[in-house]
Amino acid sequence: MNRTTLSKPLRWLAMAWAAGSFLLTACTPNPSSSAGPAPAAQTAPTDVAVAPVVNGKPMAYALFAGGCFWCIEADFEKLAGVLAVESGYTAGQTPQPTYEQVSAGHTGHTEAVRVLYDPSQVSYAQLVDYFWRHIDPTVKDQQFCDVGPQYRSGIYWQNEAERATAEASRDALIKSGRFSTIHTELAPSSAFHLAEDYHQDYYKKNEMRYSYYRLSCGRDARVKKLWG
């Protein structure tokens, strides 16, 4: 069985367990799940959300896509200075996309997270560096066992300062010789759509199912191989 065939069954199996049953018919991947429309060309950020003020201090948002949003959400919530992480969809065309639409690969979106952080505790550059070390930037339209443009990795900058930081970080990685090519998308931000409630904090609500999925997908093993 190839990796494309494995990806959606692992996700659906974890969610089926969370619902208390094995819905085997839901484990059959859509034959077109590894292909979808290319995101629309975009040259400037749109729909930039204003982060809240917490205890009189302005916070900030950052947008990243690192494959399964259950996993990248869990990773970012471990980082000091991060207040909250929301799972959702971005960089696509369909208004108000659902998980079923996005996972079928027909909307142009990628699974993503919106990170709420305190700039006085952690910088955007530190977030970007942390992000790289929790993904596989060497593959296109794929992260670990999940295959298709809906799982492509990306950094979605919201202003020119973030763009410069993201591009400098990518260029430094290539210059270091660690990777000859980086397929992670760097693009201006667009609308971020919150995923369904059951996806938020999935790793906390369904610890055993999440752990099974993450281990079976080989995420941590691949990250360790790439980054040490």
Q: Is 70 or 13 the better-scoring residue by pLDDT?
A: 70
Strand pairing category for 110-117 and 146-147: unpaired
Q: What is the pTM of this model?
A: 0.84
Question: Where do runs of H (alpha helix) occur along the chain?
Answer: 3-19, 69-76, 99-103, 124-132, 160-176, 202-205, 207-217, 219-227
pLDDT at 20 over 50: no
Q: Give bridge partners of residue 117 from the DSSP assignment.
A: 60, 82
68 is catalytic: yes
Looking at residue 11, its pLDDT comes to 59
Residue-wise pLDDT tens digits, 192-227? 999 999 999 999 999 999 999 999 999 999 999 999
Looking at residue 53, its pLDDT comes to 95
Average pLDDT, stretch 153-173?
A: 97
- Is the alpha carbon torsion for 46, 89, 206, 215 positive or negative? negative
Chain-wide mean pLDDT for the chain?
86
Q: Is 47 or 136 the better-scoring residue by pLDDT?
A: 136
Looking at residue 88, its pLDDT comes to 98
Looking at residue 41, its pLDDT comes to 56
Question: Which of 134, 158, 162, 17 lies closest to 76, judged by CA?
Answer: 134
Contact 192, 112 (CB under 8 A): yes
- Among candidate residues 68, 71, 145, 217, the one labeled active-site is 68
pLDDT at 154 over 80: yes
Looking at residue 6, its pLDDT comes to 45
Residue-wise pLDDT tens digits, 91-141? 999 999 999 999 999 899 999 999 999 999 999 999 999 999 999 999 999
**Three-state secondary-structure class, residue 142:** strand
Strand pairing category for 60-66 and 57-58: unpaired
Average pLDDT, stretch 30-48?
A: 55
Looking at residue 138, its pLDDT comes to 97
Looking at residue 10, its pLDDT comes to 59
pLDDT at 37 over 80: no
Measure the CA angle with vertex 32, ends 29 and 36; round to 5°: 125
Integer Cα distance of 21 and 17 in angstroms: 5
Question: Which of 41, 45, 11 lies closest to 28, judged by CA?
Answer: 11
Integer Cα distance of 146 and 17 in angstroms: 19
Integer Cα distance of 31 and 189 in angstroms: 29
Confidence of residue 44 (pLDDT cuts 50, 70, 90): confident
